[in-house]
Amino acid sequence: MVLFSLTAGALSIQAAKINAVKVGSKINVTIDGKFFTSYIFSSDEKYPFFYPVNGPLSGGSVTSMRNGEYPHHSSLFFGCDLVNGGNYWQEGLERGRIVSVNAEILKEGGDTVVISDECIWSRPGAVSPVKDSRKIVITSPSATIRQIDVEITMEMLTDVHIRKTNHSLFSARMAADLSVKNGGTMVNAEGANGEKDTFGKSSPWIDYYGKRGEAVEGLAILQHPSNPWYPSPWFTRDYGFISPTPMFWPENGEETFMKKGETLLLRYRVLVHGGGTTDAKIGELFELYKKGN
């Protein structure tokens, strides 16, 4: 968020003040004193995730978790199923967990919050297949945009086989009132709408939004062009789920294989916005993201 004020007859620009505080197994983030999101890394959760992810207009979360249909969807999250026989996505901690071991606030109190984390993918009786390192940067470019930049480096601790799965990598489960089923809109960079026309289609980004009273709010996920498999095809659902999911369309048709010591860098930008896709200028903001801005 950017505020304008007159100082000594000149126009000055005051950026939003973004704060973060670590409380137990959460890092809580506020923007100009209003609660925005928590990065949650509790020992009894399947994986770290963000919840709520509050919209800039309503103040209510644009994402949901513990949904009755699919309780393994935890808001805004990163995980994967069918990894060396383990499950780092669905319910059941004994099937596999992504364990945060060092969640820290690197910067806060100015116009940016920076969070880092290290995570071990762990399953009882099995060699940990992956270690991942995360850098999360939260900013507010305008009064109606909240921005979360997520950078995840996956290091293979052993040879890793990921069988074909629709449960993979970065994902968002939208709040029910914003879903296509309830009158919302899901649109990709090419202008295709809804599950029927976006499912399995490669696209740099998808935006999902809907009406809340007199306001419109939504969330877009942007894939960085440097990502492997870019632009990944999307797994989409009209009930409110979006994920760029390369592991459901593996190159050999059966599995994704990575060797011990191999690293994988994945970058995503999340835009939590007021207005629809055009109003929020999602396409223009993606072009800035491509250029490193």
How far is the CA of 229 from the CAs of 81, 94, 157, 224, in angstroms?
A: 18, 30, 21, 10
> Alpha helices, DSSP H only, in 141-244?
194-198
Beta bridge partners, 135, equal 116, 151
DSSP 25-91: TEEEEEETTEEEEEEE--TTSSS-EEEEEB-TTT-SBSB-BS-SS-TT-BSEEEEEEEETTEEESSS
Instruction: Give pLDDT, residue 253.
Output: 83
Element (H, E) at 32: none
Instruction: Give pLDDT, residue 7.
Output: 39
Number of structural domains (the chain) is 1
Q: Which residue has the tokens 């498999």?
A: 229
* DSSP 8-state secondary structure symbol assigned to residue 275: S
Per-residue pLDDT of the chain (293 residues; tens, 9 = 90+): 444 333 344 434 578 999 999 999 999 999 999 999 999 999 999 999 999 999 999 999 999 998 777 888 899 999 999 999 999 999 999 999 999 999 999 999 999 999 999 999 999 999 999 999 999 999 999 999 999 999 999 999 999 999 999 999 999 999 999 999 999 999 999 999 999 999 999 999 999 999 999 999 999 999 999 999 999 999 999 999 999 999 999 888 889 999 999 999 999 999 999 999 999 999 999 999 999 88
Identity of the amino acid at 151: E
C-alpha closest to that of 69 among 214, 241, 236, 260: 241
Domain that holds residue 10: 2-290
pTM over 0.85: yes
Beta bridge partners, 119, equal 100, 132
Q: How far apart are CA 11 and CA 14, in angstroms?
A: 10
Contacts of 99-106 spanning 24+ positions with Cβ under 8 A = 99/43, 100/41, 100/48, 103/22, 103/27, 103/39, 103/41, 103/48, 104/22, 105/20, 105/21, 105/22, 105/27
Cβ-contact 48, 98 below 8 angstroms: yes
> Alpha helices, DSSP H only, in the chain?
194-198, 277-280, 282-290
| 3-state class (DSSP) for residue 271 | strand
**From the CB of residue 168, how many other CB atoms can be counted at a distance below 10 Å?**
26
* Residues near 247 by beta carbon (within 8 Å), at least 6 away in sequence: 80, 82, 162, 164, 165, 166, 168, 169, 256
CATH number of the domain bearing residue 180: 2.70.98
| 3-state class (DSSP) for residue 100 | strand
Q: Which residues of 64-98 are buried (b: 16+ CB within 10 A; e: fewer)?
A: bbebeebebbbbbbbbbbbbbebbbbeeeeebbbb
Cβ-contact 223, 192 below 8 angstroms: no
Q: Which two tokens stand for residue 214?
A: 């007199």
Instruction: Give pLDDT, residue 13.
Output: 53
* Residues near 226 by beta carbon (within 8 Å), at least 6 away in sequence: 265, 267
